[in-house]
Amino acid sequence: MPVPRAVVAAMSLASVLPASPGAAQARGGHCVLPEHSQQSASYLIDSDSSLDWIHPNPPPAAREPTASERLDFAGFPNVSAFDVVRPDGTPARKVITTFTTNVDRVVTLTGEAAVSDDGGATFGPSGATPLREAPVELLDGRFFATEYYLTGTGPHTARLGVLTSSSDDAGESWVRAESTLSTPDERLPGGVVHGAPVQLADGTILITAYVRYRDTGAHQAEVYASADGGRTFARRGVIARPAGGFAYNEATVAQTMDGTLLAVVRREGGPYSTLHHSRSADGGRTWSPVSEVRFAGMDCVVRGVAPRLLLMPDGVLVLSAGRPDNWLAVSPDGLGHEWREPRVTYHNRDGVWDTHGSSGYTGVAAVGPHRLIQVFDNCKLPGVGAGGLLNETTCPAHGRFEHGGWYAIKRRLFTVAPPGPGLLDLAGMHRRGELSIDTTMRWSSRDRPRTRPEAAFDGSTGYWSSAMGRRGRYVLHLDRQYPLTRIGLSLRPGHPANARVYVSADGRSWGDPVLRIIGRTDYALRYDPISRTGRHVKIVVSPTADCTPETGRRCAVLNEVELYS
């Protein structure tokens, strides 16, 4: 049962600090991360990042909380960004940050959510929410999330709460149902679902969980798949089994630029939690042997908990984790074989122990094609000791923390550098009348308000934030001649597609294509040089088969386009 706040208030806030020789230092070959990029080519732009509070709201004026204010628990945050339409019909990104408000113990979870309608720049006051893990938008238009704990119903089955919200509600209200999970091995009680769900192009929903089994007694990281919209899940594959005294728990999975699945998983069994990774080329059924996550040019072991992966709309893959501190790293090619530019994004150090302060649990979401938000907490939530007293050894109230001892949620915004200079603001040009569209891709639906011709440059690679039609002719008429240097295209996400690109000075004579795409499967924008001056750009997308019934058996999809001059 939950620990009532009235009871928690009666618990002792005193903590005993662990012995420490002094300021925290990494030992035994563990990475010590810089606070700024050490590489000349920067993908995450430090100068464009900013720090702000999400909770408490408004931010507190005092450096330290009072004893009662420290009982306003807030930690372990997540964040999601949804494609929505404003009342005036313009597209927007709705950002929802959720966080836990109970102590760090196996109890009935409580949480709150704060919403931003300006791309994560500001958040309103938080309110109660059933969400614990980050929701995702499914192909059927629903928003979907899982609860945290598994409830065993037999040696091979468990129940999991799932939460859905319609596109009309846009995450404002959630309907709870229970899904059944099945596994071929004999499980032990417990188990946790961690990480955001992933939906494959065929509609399969994947979730990651860590479970203990009778034959080993230690946690292993697994993938479960649902082919019925989340009503039932069956174990599809095992990412990492316990071995050599090590166990694997929290895992994050993302589909990379080549369609393979990448998992980054937390390993336990040493003095620090460390991060390992594995890859699947068959939709999560089989996984490569786990190996250590490594940073390019750094011969050290990467520490961290609760990893998060994010494939940005521009194809850059981002890894977020923490403990000690909170950090980000990027894989510029979107594949995750090599991680570059690791840097600390937030710390709340006390000079006593390097894992004091923030829990290291983070969330990341794309708020634009080249813009992301990272959320984190200020102090790790307390546990409860055997005597029923709060255990705050990771965030003691000793007044030594850089940013105080508040249980708080904060955020930073980062710009991911575009692939080159001269990005044209097509959406802004369209609003100002400097760009017009001539297209056959005008399919729309009340249930798909983001699907429209101008969705091809709305900054989102969400499936339904696209221009669609039975025929695929799409022409951009610019306000003047531009020396075009590069084009970014995302066609029908997750499906092979063909396209041709033409550039014309007068809109009548097109000549040969400046770019041909044959059988390419996109999961984000891909960029190609074009080196042609013109005022008119024509994109011809070939219709693909096996489309959804609502759009017709065959459909042409232009998911996103960018032009550079």
Is residue 161 located within the same domain as residue 309? yes
Pairing of strands 274-280, 205-212: unpaired
Is residue 405 domain-shared with residue 477, that is, in the same domain? Answer: no
158 part of a folded domain: yes
Do 346 and 292 sit in the same domain of this protein?
yes
Assess contact for 15 and 382: CB atoms under 8 A.
no
Give a yes or no: residue 26 inside a domain.
Answer: no
Give residue 368's pLDDT. Answer: 95
Collapsing DSSP to helix, strand or coil, 483 comes out as strand
472 and 405, same structural domain? no
Residues 518 and 441 in one domain: yes
Compute the distance between CA of residue 514 and CA of residue 481 in angstroms, rounded to an integer: 16
Domain boundaries, position 516: 423-564
Residues 405 and 450 in one domain: no
Q: What is the CATH number of the domain that holds 553?
A: 2.60.120.260
Residues 431 and 400 in one domain: no
Residue ranges of E strands in 408-551? 409-416, 435-439, 467-469, 473-490, 496-504, 515-521, 526-541
My answer on whether 437 and 540 are in the same domain is yes
Match 């998992």 to its residue by tokens.
263
Nearest partner of 77 among 318, 391, 412, 355, judged by Cα: 412
Does 507 fall in a domain?
A: yes
Residues 60 and 160 occupy one common structural domain: yes
Q: Which residue has the tokens 């035994």?
A: 28
Residue-level pLDDT at 108: 81
Are 369 and 504 in the same domain? Answer: no
DSSP 141: S
CATH number for position 257: 2.120.10.10
Residue 38: the pLDDT is 62
- 111-116 sheet: strands from edge to edge: 75-85, 91-100, 111-116, 127-129
Is 40 among the domain residues?
A: no
What the block records as the tokens of 134 is: 């980050």
- Based on the structure, what is the number of domains in the chain? 2
N- to C-terminal Cα separation, the chain: 60
| Burial class of residue 369 in the structure, from the number of CB atoms within 10 Å of its CB (0-12 exposed, 13-18 middle, 19+ buried) | buried
pLDDT value, residue 439: 98
In a domain, 480, yes or no: yes
Judge whether 457 lies within some domain. yes
Cβ atoms within 10 A of the Cβ of 527, count? 16
The pair of structure tokens assigned to 293 is 């996550």
Q: Identify whether the C-beta of residue 454 lies closer than 8 Å to the C-beta of residue 435.
A: no
Q: Clarify whether residues 376 and 513 are in a common domain.
A: no
Question: Strand 473-490 vs strand 435-439: parallel, antiparallel, or unpaired?
Answer: antiparallel
Phi, psi of 264 (to 5 degrees): -115, 130
Q: How do the pLDDT tens digits run along the chain, 565 residues long?
A: 333 333 333 333 333 233 322 222 344 599 999 887 666 558 888 667 789 999 999 999 999 999 999 999 999 999 999 999 988 888 999 999 999 999 888 778 899 999 999 999 999 999 999 998 889 999 998 999 999 999 999 999 999 999 999 877 777 889 999 999 999 999 999 999 999 999 999 999 999 999 999 999 999 999 999 999 999 999 999 999 999 999 999 999 999 999 999 999 999 999 999 999 999 999 999 999 999 999 999 999 999 999 999 999 999 999 999 999 999 999 999 999 999 999 999 999 999 999 999 999 999 999 999 999 999 999 999 998 888 888 899 999 999 999 999 999 999 999 999 999 999 999 999 999 999 999 999 999 998 999 999 999 999 999 999 999 999 999 999 999 999 999 999 999 999 999 999 999 999 999 999 999 999 999 999 999 999 999 999 999 999 999 999 999 999 999 999 999 9
Q: How high is the pLDDT of residue 7? A: 32
Asked whether residue 10 is domain-assigned, the answer is: no
Same domain, 371 and 464: no
SS3 readout for 234-265: EEEEEEECCECCEEEEEEEEEECCCCCEEEEE
What the block records as the tokens of 399 is: 């007044």
pLDDT of the residue at 26: 40
Is the full-model pTM beyond 0.75?
A: yes
Q: Is 115:124 a contact under the CB 8 Å cutoff?
A: yes
Contact 261, 252 (CB under 8 A): no
Q: Output b/e per residue, 421-441; b: 16+ Cβ within 10 A.
A: eebbebbebbeeeebebebbb
**Burial profile 333-360: b = 16 or more Cβ within 10 angstroms, e = fewer:** ebbbeebbbbbbbbbbbbebbbbbbbbb
Q: What is the three-class DSSP state of 343?
A: strand
CB atoms near residue 305 (< 10 Å): 21
Would you say residue 475 lies in a domain? yes
